[in-house]
Amino acid sequence: MQKIITTLWFDKQAEEAADYYTSLFDDSRILEVNRYGEAGPGEPGTVMTVTFELAGQRFIALNGGPHFTFNEAISLTVDCAGQDEVDEMWSKLSEGGQEGPCGWLKDKYGVSWQICPRTLTDLLSDPDPEKANRVMKAMLEMKKIDVQALVDAYEQ
């Protein structure tokens, strides 16, 4: 059992969101759906929580009502092997959502994601500060990360 589990608060879309997210990632599945009973606070029989895994990481989606919404103060980062995976995840997660700068986006539920190729973290951690700074400058000009443009900036 995972010691720490992230809970995502939705108004009424917890099951829909969990179904959507598990369709996007390998090694993902719905584990459990719990419903509100007579004690509430939700309508009896409606979904209260959905426990699910994304790429083996456990989450709980809660239908808690409209009291709280997502913001960029917390995000989920997708570690991508290369440009093809960046393109795929960016396309799927930004659909119906909002593209942001530097590989960030909000999905159609308002959850913030960072779509991050490993190449970016590798290049930014280069011991040569000039190379790392060129990569950072290039990344700051992007929405979806362009791996080749990062490599070109690095090799300049």
SS3 156: coil
Residue 143: the pLDDT is 98
Architecture of domain 70-156: Roll (3.10)
Residue with tokens 């190379």: 131
CATH number of 1-66: 3.30.720.100
> Domain residue spans in the chain?
1-66, 70-156
Over range 56-79, report the average pLDDT. 96
pLDDT tens figures, 87-141 = 999 999 999 999 999 999 999 999 999 999 999 999 999 999 999 999 999 999 9
- Cα distance between residue 98 and residue 31, in whole Å: 29
- Cα distance between residue 74 and residue 106, in whole Å: 11
pLDDT tens figures, 38-64 = 998 999 999 999 999 999 999 999 999
Confidence (pTM) = 0.92
| 24, 49, 108, 93: CA torsion to nearest 10 | -20
